[in-house]
Amino acid sequence: MSDVYEKLINKETKISLIGLGYVGMPVAIAFAKKLEVIGFDIDKQKIEEYKRGKDPTNEVGDQAIKETTVHFTADARRLIDAKFHIVAVPTPITESNIPNLDPLESATKTVGQYLTEGSIVVFESTVYPGVTEEVCIPILEEASGLKAGKDFKVGFSPERINPGDEVNRLETIVKVVSGMDESTLDTIAKVYELVVDAGVYRAESIKVAEAAKVIENAQRDINIAFMNELSLIFNRMNIDTQEVLNAASTKWNFLDFKPGLVGGHCIGVDPYYLTYKSEMVGYHPQIVLAGRRINNKMGRFIVENVIKQLIHAKVNIEHAKIGILGFTFKENIPDTRNTRVIDIIHELEEYGITPVVHDPYADHKEVYEEYGIKLNTYDELTDLNVVILAVAHKEYQSLSESFFEKLYKPGINGNKIMIDVKGQLDRKNALVAGYRYWRL
């Protein structure tokens, strides 16, 4: 398989990216600067946008899409022209928090149907240890009629791209790579070294690489859960959690985590992949699942405090009007997958309140089709009793005090309730300005 690298370099064969989302697209763009790249996605509408030079993910920008040499296609038959395949499709969970491997299995079958002898398939999708060898390889073999290890080789290189992060990019993050044998590992490492300036780390095995990825996000989930639990505790003591964290962070080895909503397709999902496999081998995780339970109830905790603030302000809950700024799962990106802002909305609905929601990044049509939520313009955020700053978008941080004033119902004086989930605003200034201010 070592000749695959030489053929790629000499442009005698191509590399394919299967799945052109927040992870696959940056990878495709990076490789296209060095190699011939086929960018495949089953979403024909997305492919057409890419062909028009539009980046719906906002990860690389329209200009990069216009300038790239990636061959965008929704025709799977084009995959036959590639000898090095990278699968970067989502790995979500079901409503019961069970891993949903359907997208991965479907993509793997598609690759298998057009797999040729001498090819290498690398999976980047986050999975639990064992999926690549126990699930994906049999699918490739059945679909292709070829034999793994003899006719084609397989590896795993977990994605580490952080959507919306302008500093930590594909090129600057060490890439973990693994292969089913030393020769395959060497080829995969050399291919990724073409685009990853930070270098690669050669994992001992595919299972080690799979496990390394899934614990990265589980670790973040647990650390944020600890911050959220502190917020639950300090709120009862009438102590501002972020002031406590500011004080504690003056110690050199204090970890810089903040309380907040934990959603998205990684941190809020990957721990369930780890716990699923753990229970398969007979161990019921304690800390990992405890972290999930805490993080999953933060939407309810926020709304409980909204209601308390309304009661203190003597506002009739039934007639309260609430505006939510931000709907995506994190700041400055259009991705709404597994956004936990929806928890706030559903909890408010339990009290008979339908909030007015705004987001400068989210796709209005997509949000309505997926969640049944109508996103509103700034002009529609009027006569509010409560403003919930749910997502720390840069645009919201630049809004003036006079702008916020216009959102509230006239004449409510000191009863303007501001729920600042991520602590975007200066707490003291907000209190001086007359807000009933609360944050995690």
| 136 carries an active-site annotation | no
Can you tell me which residue has the tokens 């890419």?
50
- Opening angle at CA 225, ends 220 and 226, nearest 5: 100
Tokens 């590896």 locate to 155
- At which residue do the structure tokens 């975007």 appear? 424
Q: DSSP string spanning 50-81?
A: HHTT--TT-SS-HHHHHH---EEES-GGGGGG
- Per annotation, catalytic residue among 266, 267, 388, 421: 266
> H-type helices in 313-378, by residue range?
341-350, 364-371
Q: What is the distance between the alpha carbons of residues 87 and 42, in angstroms, rounded to a whole number?
A: 13
* Angle separating helix axes 102-113 and 137-144, nearest 10 degrees: 40
CB of 338 within 8 A of CB of 272? no
DSSP SS3 for 200: strand
Phi and psi of 275, rounded to 5°?
-70, -35
Q: Which amino acid is at 222?
A: I
Which residues are tagged catalytic? 266
